[in-house]
Chain A
Amino acid sequence: MDRAFRREIAALDDVFRSVDEFLSAHGIDARTQLTAKLVVEELFTNFVRHDVGGRDEVALSLATDGDRLIIRLKDFDVDPFDLSEAEPVDIHLPLARRKVGGLGLHLVRNLVDELRYDYDDRVLSVTAIKNLERRDV
């Protein structure tokens, strides 16, 4: 699946609809579907909220490669923005010292098996790979 979506939170319904269609058509189990949707939303909203210029649309592609689900989002004509340098979240802090934000990338890092950031020719690409449970076909 390759699609472009408006760079705004209101586009999330369209994003989820497309992700649902792809994952269901490929027989992905329910739990992995929820994880995949969470990863897509977190990366998509990250692009929206850290708007660093660029086009009005964000590209999303989903693919399977054997027992791997490959999620890739691209932001075009943007200044460099290295998501890997985002400050880590300390989930062990007491409530009074916990910050409300910053959980999105923390969740993504912990839910996927591989996460890559690439920046080339003003295109930022984030690729998340989730190993799938074996499916009976």
Chain B
Amino acid sequence: MFDIRRTESGDILMSGRLDASQAEKARAVLRTIEKSCVLDLKHLEYISSLGLGVLLEAQKRLSDAGAGLTLKNLSEHLREVFHLAGFHNVFNIE
């Protein structure tokens, strides 16, 4: 089960398991972002390479427009995966 929605504060909240079967659902929401934004991953349990690709694609698009994504509330597992993917070099991670 994966869910992605915008909170009242304007952050994007992801929860559940972002696997290959859910990547398009994430992509559809992230494509609507037009300015810098926070992704709250507090309830995201799991992410695989296709999910990472969706995040990277959004970051590249926003960067071209002078904006970017900030990732926050990563679990220990997500931090390890993001680090292995080199995302600490291309995202602002809180």
Contact = CB atoms under 8 A, between A and B. Distances in A.
A90 to B, nearest CB: 8
A113 B49 CA distance: 19
A28 B33 CA distance: 39
Contacts of A89: 86
Which range contains the number of B residues in contact with the other chain? 20 to 34
Interface residues of A, number: 29
A78 interface: no
Contact of A107 (B20, B60, B81, B90): B81
A96 B56 CA distance: 10
A58 to B, nearest CB: 14
Given A12-B20, A42-B48, A100-B56, A95 B90 contact: yes
Majority-rule SS of B interface residues:
helix
Nearest to A109: B84
B63 A95 contact: yes
A55 interface: no
B21 A104 contact: no
A91 B20 contact: no
B21 A95 contact: no
B29 to A, nearest CB: 17
A12 B21 contact: yes
12 contacts: A9-B20, A10-B21, A12-B20, A34-B46, A41-B48, A45-B20, A95-B60, A95-B89, A96-B60, A101-B49, A101-B53, A107-B49
Given A9-B20, A41-B19, A41-B20, 8 more contacts: A16-B19, A34-B45, A45-B49, A89-B86, A91-B84, A100-B60, A104-B49, A107-B85
